[in-house]
Amino acid sequence: MSETAYTDGSWESGDGLTLHYRDYPGRPEGLGDRPPILCIPGLTRNARDFEPVTDAFAGEWRVICAELRGRGESDYARDSASYVPAQYVADIAALLDQAGLDKVVVLGTSLGGIITMLLALSHGDRLAGAVINDIGPVIEPEGLERIKDYVGQGRSFPTWMHAARAMKDSSSQIYPAFETADWLRLAKRLMVVSGSGRIAFDYDMKIAEPMLEADGPVDFDMWPAWRALAARPVLALRGELSDLLSEETFRRMAEESDNVEAVTVPGVGHTPTLEEPVALEAIARLLGRVA
């Protein structure tokens, strides 16, 4: 568990939800004009997912870790039909406005990367740079089906060790080198102690409903959204074992723009945790290009 200090913040969605973020301070005023890093998590993730990033960069950079509607400490949606990328983009745009964030470096993991690309289409002037973690304009059916198999199942566990073992059983192909301590750390990022005292996933199970009813997370061509990022520094990360982002798509992403650095994170699948030295070094290079 990270001990990096942060404050809690909130903003209001257009449909009246109170949404939560963690705000980690950066350099004091007057020591350089660095845009904040805005972290947007994946489908079932929350602000804790970015503890490796905050441990590495907070203090030098302000880091804001948003929690999408239905995750972590953010309100659950009244209507599950609002758990879709277009609404998430509107929510993040509201955060930018309400928190007075003129420019940000967006770090999007999986679904967060889709949101980042869509933000580039609608709010490109607000993006100083971007990190896209293991997602692209083409999503592989195999990986999508794997996600559909587990999302929204509502499993719970009596102890953290039981939760860690369940994570290992379901995800050993994603993190084949993980030891028990790694599985425990991952479980504590994804889960919380529920009101019943059991360990449960930290999201509204209804987030799965729109995804299970559709063929995929988006139903239109995402390549224009990827190209919309090209005017600024971009880092694309891919887990070497990823079943959601293919090597072919990853190569094409790199070929689309001279501003893209494409880095493969060895030995992991979907998604890199951003604890990996290769990933952290690549993020540092991207931030150096922005600064």
For residue 52, what are its two tokens?
């490796």
Q: Provide the pLDDT for residue 1.
A: 64
pLDDT digit string (tens) for the chain, length 291 residues: 677 899 999 999 999 999 999 999 998 765 567 999 999 999 999 999 999 999 999 999 999 999 999 999 999 999 999 999 999 999 999 999 999 999 999 999 999 999 999 999 999 999 999 999 999 999 999 999 998 888 888 899 999 999 999 999 999 999 999 999 999 999 999 999 998 999 999 999 999 999 888 766 666 799 999 999 999 999 999 999 999 999 999 999 999 888 999 999 999 999 999 999 999 999 999 999 998
pLDDT of residue 59: 94
**pTM of the full structure:** 0.95
Question: Which is nearest to 275 in space by CA: 6, 41, 51?
Answer: 51
Residue 109, CA distances (Å) to 5, 12, 14, 163, 270 in order: 22, 23, 24, 23, 10
Is the separation of the CB atoms in 285 and 235 below 8 Å?
A: yes
DSSP-H helix ranges across the chain = 51-57, 85-98, 111-123, 141-150, 160-171, 180-190, 208-213, 223-227, 247-255, 277-290
Separation between Cα atoms, residue 161 and residue 109, nearest integer Å: 26
Q: What is the pLDDT of residue 32?
A: 60
For tokens 């309100």, the residue is 75
Location of each CATH 3.40.50.1820 domain in the chain: 7-141+206-290
Q: What is the pLDDT of residue 215?
A: 64
Q: What is the CATH architecture assignment of 7-141+206-290?
A: 3-Layer(aba) Sandwich (3.40)
